[in-house]
Amino acid sequence: MTEMIRFVQGNEACVEGALYAGLEFFAGYPITPSTEIAELLSGRLPTNGGKFIQMEDEIASMCAIIGASLTGHKVMTATSGPGFSLKQEAIGYACMAEIPCVIVNVQRGGPSTGNPTHVSQGDINQARWGTHGDHSIIALTASNHQDIFAMTVDAFNLAETYRTPVVLLLDEAVGHMREKLTIPAKDELQIIDRLRTSLGKDVDYHPYLPREDGRLPMSDFGGDHRYNVTGLYHDMWGFPSANPKVVNQLLRHLVDKIENNVHAITRYKEYYLEDAHYIMVSYGSSARSAIHLAEERRKRGERIGVLELQSIWPFPTEVVREKCAAARAVVVVEMNMGQVLAQVKSAVEHPERVFLANRIDGKLIAPHDIKKLLRVIQGKGV
């Protein structure tokens, strides 16, 4: 297959990325503004032998993809705020039982039913802490369709590598906007498949005994190794255990396998950062406005740049600290009450120089919204 150029919605770019990554099973439930993902996959998946199922609710969709992942398939579900809330219990299960899966959340305004057809980035913290108990998780995001495609592929790669749920945080604006997408030729992007055990039929397989590098080779349900999968703390056989040593070890493993690999997981882009006095930290559709503003101000000689985060969790603390070290001021541009702001403040050396440029009214934050704040910070007045 050679590369192909299409004009698509962001949600469709996500579908293309998922299929490119090898998606084989999707379960979902209709919800605005992510429904297009389910609609498109209901048509596309069976054409290459994949499976699509519309479940009775959001909870069931999450459970079904976990079941399908265990039989050895690449799986995904897609939702938005209220559905993301409902899925949290099963997301925690996937964390605990270490089941690779991808959850797309096309964010809309919340809390509750909120603002279904309008943009928001209010689920950043929910992606991190939506499910109960200590755990770690990977969350990616993207600001344009080419990146949605790439981040979707990455979401699958990371899920399979770390045996974890990966959340892809899109938002209503990028999800519904149309722009050009170049679908790369086959083999152009790296596709990672899960590690499978090489142990033979009659060899005792320990599904939950991590190798030295922290990875656990899997065995597909239906194969030669029969083992137990549970959401309870469990020993190396997957059998429930409340032994303090087992509990302690497992929780540390679940957190460490992700937090210790923050460098490998971190994804970002930078624009005009080299000599920037003012740095905008942004992500998703907000980053489009930040980049637009930086381009415009650069033409006028202003030393301003953008750090666009593409991985949000585990938070790329070191990258943010490093990139912002020389900045006179850092402006976090996002569409919530400062969820990434809090992370940036705790990452940098001078949190008092970090400001929030936000919109929370369902309207896309515009370059002039940021500019107003910037002028105040720069002492230029509005």
Partner 1 sequence: MAVTDYLRQRFFPHMWCPGCGHGTILNSLLRAVEELELSKNDIVMTSGIGCSARISGYVDFHSLHTLHGRALAFATGVKLSKPELTLLVPMGDGDALAIGGNHFIHAARRNIDITAIVMNNRIYGMTGGQFSPLSGPGVKATTAPYTTIDANFDVVKLAIAAGASFVARSTAYHARESTEILKKAIMHKGFSVVEILSQCPTHYGRKNKEGDAVAMLELHKTNTAKLGSKQLEENPNLVARGIFIQEERAEYCIEYGKIVEHAQRRNVK
Question: Which residues in this chain contact partner 1 in the complex, by CB under 8 A?
Answer: 24-25, 27, 43, 46-49, 51, 53, 55-57, 59-60, 63-73, 75, 89-90, 93, 221-224, 226-232, 237, 239-240
Rounded least distance, CB 49 to partner 1, Å: 6
Question: Nearer Cβ to partner 1, position 24 or 147?
Answer: 24
293-302 long-range Cβ contacts below 8 angstroms, 24+ apart = 293/367, 293/370, 293/371, 293/374, 295/271, 296/367, 297/371, 298/272, 302/278
Q: Virtual CA dihedral for 317, 320, 323, 326, nearest 10 degrees? A: -100
Distances (CA, A) of 198 to 204, 248, 286, 287: 11, 28, 45, 44
Query: Between 75 and 293, whose beta carbon lies closer to partner 1?
Result: 75
Minimal distance, residue 103 CB to partner 1, in Å: 14
Q: Report d(CA 129, CA 343) in Å as an integer.
A: 14
Nearer to partner 1, 66 or 137 (CB): 66
> Is the distance from CB of 189 to CB of 222 less than 8 angstroms?
no
Q: Rounded to the nearest whole angstrom, what is the least distance from the CB of residue 61 to partner 1 in the complex?
A: 8
CB of 72 to partner 1, least distance (A): 8
Nearer to partner 1, 240 or 351 (CB): 240
- Name which of 44 and 118 has its Cβ closer to partner 1: 44
Question: Shortest approach of partner 1 to residue 64 CB, angstroms?
Answer: 3
Distance CA 226, CA 65 (A): 20
CA distances 93 to 51, 60, 90, 96, 241, Å, are 22, 13, 5, 5, 16
